[in-house]
Chain A
Amino acid sequence: MTPEPTYELEISRIFDAPRELVYQAFVDPDQLAEWFGPVGWLVPRDTVEVDARPGGYQRFVMVNAQDPSQRSPVDATFTEVIPNELLVGEQSAEGIQGFEGIATMTLRLEFHDEPGGKTRLELRQGPFSREMEAGSREGWNSSFGKLDDVLAARA
């Protein structure tokens, strides 16, 4: 069975480290450069800039280790920051006529305590920031559940 399609990515993962450490790994430039990106990609330390507060930024460049001409820059703006608990960032889809400022990819990272000094990281990424603020998430989920069925049937 293939997973149901959704426009929002949700990943939950438990790390064997306390919440503060996991959070620091995202906002400390030295640490981010150590681990970010899949194997085969590097984040040069001198490309990393982080200002972890609302309105602040997270910028860095991922470089392919085999072919350094392959570069993937990330430039996100934090919209919500609660130290050791929550990071929400937005990245705009630039350069599209008529859509300036409309399209933003939102990345939401929640850090939760788990027994035994562990941390559960909840990641959510997608184009859906505004209805979450409006607090009508459940309604949308049911709408999109229906839509998922339709897509699965037509795909």
Chain B
Amino acid sequence: MMTEDRLSMVFAALADPTRRAIIARLAEGDATVTELAEPFSISLPAISRHLKVLERAGLISRSRSGQWRSSTLEAAPLKEATDWMERYRIFWDASFDRLNEHLRRVQQDRARQGQAQDTEKGARQ
């Protein structure tokens, strides 16, 4: 199990659209910095910085073969992140059951007040 801090680092890494694009690209297979930079209008050093963030979060690993350094997607931390999101689903489903009950009570109270006002009006007329 990842620690909360590690999970925070994963989400921090995922919070940037360029880094998500890099991850999506690596899902198709390993790639070098040059290959990863292709779809973007940003410099190689900028891509390298993004890769460093992804590596620190454990989302990718990097290997050097000859002069090419290629990046590989690490699936396990991503899986942890998605499992973490699932906990939120359970949380919201349970909360919304209570919201449903709450809304029913609010509307019943309103209907009762409305009836009381109608009765008052009727009595005045």
* Residues of A in contact with B (beta carbons under 8 Å apart): 5-9, 11, 13, 15-17, 21-22, 25, 31, 34-39, 93, 95-96, 98-99, 102-105, 121, 123, 125-131, 134, 140, 143-144, 146-147, 150-151, 154-155
Q: Are B95 and A38 in contact (CB under 8 A)?
A: yes
Q: Which of the residues A31, A37, A93 comes within 8 Å of B11, measured between beta carbons?
A: A93
Q: Are B98 and A38 in contact (CB under 8 A)?
A: yes
Nearest chain B residue, comparing its CB with the CB of A39: B94
* Residues of B in contact with A (beta carbons under 8 Å apart): 5, 8-9, 11-12, 14-17, 20-21, 23-24, 27-28, 56, 73, 75, 78-79, 81-83, 85-86, 88-104, 106-107
Given A13-B96, A150-B75, 10 new contacts (CB under 8 A): A6-B85, A7-B78, A9-B92, A17-B107, A38-B94, A39-B97, A103-B8, A127-B15, A128-B15, A150-B73
Q: Are B106 and A21 in contact (CB under 8 A)?
A: yes
* In the bound complex, CA of A73 to CA of B91 (Å): 15
* In the bound complex, CA of A22 to CA of B102 (Å): 10
Known: A16-B104, A99-B9. A151 touches B17 (CB 8 A): no
* In the bound complex, CA of A105 to CA of B8 (Å): 10
* In the bound complex, CA of A105 to CA of B14 (Å): 10
User: Shortest CB–CB separation between residue B57 and chain A, in angstroms?
Assistant: 9
Chain B residues whose C-beta falls within 8 Å of the C-beta of A155 in the assembled complex? 75, 79
User: Shortest CB–CB separation between residue A8 and chain B, in angstroms?
Assistant: 7
